[in-house]
Structure 1
């Protein structure tokens, strides 16, 4: 079975969501189903059907999270030697050589990616171009708008 890289923070977020679903959401929907059953005829009982549908979503998400956690390879980048090389989990400051704009990205697992929060997937074109490079290197990334050249300003293990 393939292990999927995940940051410590990504694993923590999934574990918290799992706890919320199992400890709060699941019991709440079970109570809602029981209450709706007491109202009699289930065929035309909208509350019952909505609660059953919600239960299906909750159980599906619990299974999905448990599956992700079972295949996760949690990588704590703060415990890895700082070599200046771009690896999974590091935070990279880049200088766009065309626009002189600076951007900072953290390279994370696919499920953790959130471009607005500065987290890019390890499988994204920019991360694939950066992996293995070092501080001071220039790297060309193919984007939908054409090639963009970046200089790697810093690689941090945060």
Structure 2
């Protein structure tokens, strides 16, 4: 059900992510960004239907970010998002990454998986590279959550 993304998935990922971005629930991603970050993405698929996507983006030797978690509306609340995050955490553990964070409008969802909410200013400045492209920057209203493995 969960697999690494392939080049053929990029347009689906692009559609998923940018539908959420239109609702201001995440940052938009260009096709170029997605092709460059293809190795970060996981796909949740059943019977040829892509139901969700999520990425684990490694930032430093001990820090990674959960990005672009998106599940189709009709498939929410059945564990797909949780499964995608757990797969990302498994990969982070494989690489020896100890801290995984996310910037989210759904902190309660992440807390149910074991993340804790933190002050965004406690995260290293290097994480703000994508934020400068956000129309809400520097008045970000997302919540920062983190988990230590």
Q: Shared topology, TM-score over 0.5?
A: no
- Range of TM-score over shorter length: under 0.3
Rg (Cα) greater in structure: 1
TM-score, structure 2 normalization: 0.26
Greater RCO structure (CA 8 Å; 6+ sep): 1
Counting helix residues as a fraction of each chain, which structure ranks higher?
Answer: 1
